[in-house]
Structure 1
Amino acid sequence: MKAELSPRRQVFLYGLLCVLLIPFVFPTWWMVTSSVKPISDIFAFPPQLLPESYDWTTYAKVFELQPFVKQYWNSAYIAALVTIGTMIVSSMAGYAFARIKFPFANAIFMVVLLGLLIPSEVTIVPLFQMFLKAGMVNTHWPLILVPIFGAPSVFATFVMRQFFIALPVELEEAARVDGLGRFKIFRKIALPLARPALASVAIFTFLHSWNLYLEPIVFLSSADKFTLPQALTQYTDAYGGPMWNIQLAAATLTALPVLLVFIIAQKQFVEGLAHTGLKG
């Protein structure tokens, strides 16, 4: 049995955790409160924890200066398609590497993992040339296809492979006795048991796609096709300077889905990492 902490130690522990929490919470608090401050108060020193006056018109201007609803939809549906596509590709690839014996399986898997070591900046020019020849520049296809078959999918494949390796082989042997083939074993037995790992893959894939910045600024040029990270850079005044309060209001709206997704699915995320051996 675990020894219970004394009240004094509990108070000390919770106080220490609150202090350590400040560097993580303060930037978000500053973003939200500064979104309703006048620009002159945003960089005041010492920082103001609460605004002296609230200017809620900044949120209205977010939608007036940019087609923000359209850009929000762009990020949402792209992230959804990338998440679903990555879950499908990584689960099938991870199961194949974990359970199907074929020549040079481990060597091929190591080559696949090498994709994680290649920075996206190195491959962006060849990818641009390829999509330009295919007539897909200034469309959302590069933002969907590259993550599904690129580095995010490689990491997701690694997570799924680790999970499937840990599954008892006896489950598959019993299914074969019942006459199930390889694909039905995957679909009816392995995949339902892999829900914690799939939840982890879904969360970090969604976050990666939602926050993607380099690829949108390379492939997109029309404001109505922008995604949110690219749209945030467009809130500038007549001299090209950032309109900080409006930009922070847009950033606050952009961060909401990410916080909601993680709050709702954090239990599954932790469970998935625990089952795949990635926990610290």
Structure 2
Amino acid sequence: MSRRVKLALYALLCVLCVPFVFPTWWMVTSSVKPISDIFAFPPALIPSRFDFSTYSRVFELQPFGQQYLNSLYIAAVVTAGTMAVAAMAGYAFARIRFPGQNLLFLVVLVGLLIPSEVTIVPLFQLFHAAGLTDTHWPLILVPILGAPGVLATFIMRQFFITLPGELEEAARVDGLGRFGTFRKVALPLARPALGAVAIFTFLHSWNLYLEPIVFLSTPSKFTLPQALTQFVDAYGSPLWNVQLSAATMTALPILVVFVLAQRQFIEGLAHTGLKG
């Protein structure tokens, strides 16, 4: 490919990325603008005046630090739990033969077809009967055992299917049992798939909105998506610059994590598609 063609391709890619980059840029710059300048048309790419006091107001109006920690530890626990459950379930579906294996896996996959809005009422009744409403347990158990866990299991199964059978035979010759083979042979090789599962599970938990507004009612227990809706004035109108400051603090760490880990994420998804 000639240098001129490469430059033209890079220029085209820069133009195409504008619709994706501009909303984030507008969010970050508008968080330090006066409210009167946020919706000015045409929008200013660079604020005429920087007002960083909105970032301190985020912590004054809400227990935002506690809410940030809530989202962080819930996402970490959900990610670890989903990786553990999905890795074991995916390995079992891929490498262990048992009666009704394919039918059971099909039943599990049906969980991906059921919208969360359909199951939220019976889930609320279940957790309410167990006395777990207004706690973080529903936000931990539902993603691990629900659709995100099912998708993670599917990804792990697809990866384990691609592993050569000779690896398990060699492990059995060395005296390893089924769990030993999984822990010492299959699991270390599954790092790309585990990386992909970890990233999309963390993002899903971090952005979870429906379940928190259903199960939580105490502001100090809120997660970030729910907390972002609480920055309003006395008349119920949004405090746009304060909301955007909170949204910036919420989004930027995740963007950094994804940019740093995107290669492993793509590699993991590519490995899962090698064999059906």
TM-score when scaled to structure 1?
0.97
Q: Deviations over 1:200-247 (max 9, x none)?
A: 000000000000000000000000000000000000011100000000
Q: 1:182: how far off?
A: 0.1
Distance 2:184 2:7 in 1: 49
**Alignment of 1:182 onto 2:181:** no
Distance 1:34 1:184 in 2: 54
Q: Report the 3-state secondary structure (helix = DSSP H, G, I; strand = E; otherwise coil) of the residue aligned with 2:230.
A: coil
Distance 2:84 2:30 in 1: 41
Match of 1:207 among 180, 203, 206: 203
Q: 1:266: how far off?
A: 1.3
Residue matched to 2:214? 218
Q: 1:260: how far off?
A: 2.1
| Structure 1 gap segments, 5+ residues each | none
Distance 1:257 1:98 in 2: 35
Name the amino acid aligned to 1:197: A
What is the percentage of aligned positions where both structures have the same residue? 76
Name the amino acid aligned to 1:125: V
Q: Report the 3-state secondary structure (helix = DSSP H, G, I; strand = E; otherwise coil) of the residue aligned with 1:167.
A: coil
**Alignment of 1:248 onto 2:244:** yes
Residue matched to 2:50? 54
| Structure 2 gap segments, 5+ residues each | none
Residue matched to 1:238? 234
Q: 1:78: how far off?
A: 0.2
TM-score when scaled to structure 2?
0.98
Distance 1:202 1:171 in 2: 25
Residue matched to 1:108? 104
Q: 1:186: how far off?
A: 0.1
Residue matched to 1:15? 11
Residue matched to 1:163? 159
Q: Deviations over 1:172-222 (max 9, x none)?
A: 001111111000000000000000000000000000000000000000000
Structure 1 ranges of 4+ moved more than 3 A:
none
Q: 1:43: how far off?
A: 0.5
Residue matched to 2:128? 132
**Alignment of 1:196 onto 2:202:** no
Q: Report the 3-state secondary structure (helix = DSSP H, G, I; strand = E; otherwise coil) of the residue aligned with 1:247.
A: helix
Q: 1:264: how far off?
A: 2.2
**Alignment of 1:96 onto 2:92:** yes
Residue matched to 2:2? 6
Q: 1:256: how far off?
A: 2.0
